[in-house]
Amino acid sequence: MTAKPRLVLSSDHADIPMRQTIADHIAAQGWEVIDIGPTTPESTHYPKHGEAAARRVASGECQLGIILCGTGQGIMMAVNKVKGIRCGVCSDTFSTRMIREHNDANMLSLGARVIGLGLALDIVDAFLSAKFEGGRHATRVDMIKAIES
Ligand code: RB5
């Protein structure tokens, strides 16, 4: 039996129910989902939730990560500070497919106050199904990695 691929989910307080629905949606597709919260709606600080998720991806514990905040922007900025993370905010499925196929993104950020749940789930599906194309794109991703070192 092969192990399930593992994905970490995190957010701030912006839309916890959206994050939990996304977790169920991904788990139903055969992923092991590690939802690291938060679970209560008090205002909280997106950088710490983003960093916690990013560390699990950067360490290799999780292959992919999905994060949410109100706009998706602040938490994306936080996770991209962690070495090895490539994350984009997406509000459409084309950009989502591209950040996997061309940029080898390992995290996706969603703006919970920007998009509705139906689009969020379509974007998640696009993120999970797209594959990095390599080739000339690998050269460019290597250039991104070189900036980190
Ligand atoms: C929280 O109010 C809000 O600032 C946060 O969810 C996010 O949008 C930040 O980028």
Atom of ligand 1 nearest to the CA of 73: 10
Q: What is the CATH number of domain 6-148?
A: 3.40.1400.10
Q: Is 135 exposed, middle or buried (0-12, 13-18, 19+ CB in 10 A)?
A: exposed
The domain limits of the chain are 6-148
Please determine, for residue 67, whether its predicted confidence score (pLDDT) is greater than 80: yes
7-50 pLDDT, tens per residue? 999 999 999 999 999 999 999 999 999 999 999 999 999 999 99
90-123 pLDDT, tens per residue? 999 999 999 999 999 999 999 999 999 999 999 9
Told to judge if 69 belongs to the known catalytic residues of this protein, a careful annotator would answer yes
Phi, psi (degrees; rounded to nearest 5) at 82:
-85, 125
- 93 CA to centre of own chain: 14
Give the pTM.
0.97
Rounded Cα gap, residues 104 and 1, in angstroms: 27
Nearest CA to ligand 1 atom 7: 70
- 122 CA to centre of own chain: 14
Told to judge if 25 belongs to the known catalytic residues of this protein, a careful annotator would answer no
Nearest CA to ligand 1 atom 6: 70
Instruction: Report the relative pairing of strands 6-11 and 64-69 from DSSP bridges.
Output: parallel
Q: What is the pLDDT of residue 1?
A: 66
